[in-house]
Each structure stands twice: as structure tokens, then as C-alpha cells.
């Protein structure tokens, strides 16, 4: 086994099994498969037994996916972005546009959250003279 793909040299020592990948990225095995089936993650290598092997590039990309998902980009938009990537450098302007748009979306999310923080603080003033109940955990 080992070195599952085209290359025979043991340079691929860092390929990760699905379980390792899930540990490394915090994305579950099922979700990794789901992302692959939705076209968000392509070209994942396979061991001779058919099992997936994730490269360090895959790790980086999944981290990007995680970040974009966590900031509200939908699976659909992500899929669109990935398809552009598959179609070579002519799609770069559109990809840049998507990132710029998403960037401003995240920026406004931050603004919204700051407003929410103010509102919560305002609400907390009603409890200024109250001692908070002990926290369940930690």
C-alpha cells in the first residue's frame, strides 16, 4: 500500500485518511463526502482499496471551504465558485468579484454583530444590580 496515486516515490507520506482529515479540519467524514458529491472538493486521491486519501492541498482547500461556509456562503455559491476554478484563468475576474462581494458581506456581518453587542449590553444594564447565576460549564 502507500503512495496510492500516479507517483511511486514516498513523497505522499502526508496523505491523510478520511478519519485523519476529519480530525485535522474539524469537518466530519460525512460532510467531506457530501462536499465532494456536491462538487466542492474535486480530485481527491484514492488508495488501491478505493479509500480516499487527502493531500495537504485538500486540507488547505477544506479550510477555505469551512471559512466561507462559516461566514454564510451557501453550498450553491461555493459550487459555482469551484466550477469557475475548473474552467481556468479566464474566470479569474469573476472569482475575484465573488470574493470581493463576500468580503463586504462578512464586513457587514461584523457591523451587525457589533450592533447586536451594543443592544445586549444595553439590555444587560437592566441587570446591573443583579449577580449573574453561576455558569453551568466552565
Partner DNA sequence: TGTTGACCTGGAGTGCACTCCAGGTTGTTG
Partner DNA sequence: CAACAACCTGGAGTGCACTCCAGGTCAACA
Q: How many residues does the chain have?
A: 138
Residue 21 CA to residue 32 CA, distance in Å, equals 9
Longest dimension (CA), the chain: 70
In the list DNA, a copy of itself, none, the entry touching 5 (Cβ below 5 to 8 angstroms by class) is: none
Per the listing, cell 461566514 goes with 71
CA distance 95 to 126: 47
CB of 27 to DNA, least distance (A): 8
Extract the C-alpha cell encoding 66. Answer: 469551512
Contacts with a copy of itself, residue ranges (CB under 8 A) = 63-64, 67-68, 70-71, 92-97, 99-103, 106-107, 109-110, 112-117, 119-121, 123-124, 127, 130-135
Q: Supply the minimum distance, in Å, between the C-beta of residue 97 and a copy of itself.
A: 4
Which residues of this chain interact with DNA, rule CB under 7 A?
1, 17-20, 28-31, 33-34, 48-52, 69, 74-76
Amino acid at each position: 500500500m502507500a503512495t496510492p496515486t500516479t507517483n511511486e516515490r514516498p513523497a505522499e507520506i502526508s496523505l491523510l485518511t478520511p478519519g485523519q482529515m476529519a480530525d485535522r479540519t474539524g469537518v466530519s467524514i460525512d460532510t467531506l463526502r457530501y462536499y465532494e458529491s456536491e462538487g466542492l472538493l474535486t480530485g481527491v486521491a484514492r488508495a488501491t482499496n478505493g479509500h480516499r486519501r487527502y493531500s495537504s492541498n485538500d486540507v488547505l482547500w477544506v479550510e477555505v471551504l469551512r471559512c466561507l461556509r462559516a461566514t454564510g456562503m451557501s453550498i450553491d455559491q461555493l459550487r459555482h465558485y469551484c466550477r469557475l476554478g475548473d474552467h481556468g484563468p479566464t474566470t479569474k475576474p469573476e472569482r475575484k468579484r465573488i470574493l470581493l462581494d463576500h468580503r463586504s458581506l462578512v464586513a457587514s456581518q461584523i457591523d451587525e454583530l457589533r450592533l447586536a453587542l451594543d443592544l445586549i449590553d444595553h439590555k444587560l444594564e437592566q441587570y446591573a444590580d443583579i449577580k449573574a447565576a453561576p455558569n453551568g460549564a466552565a
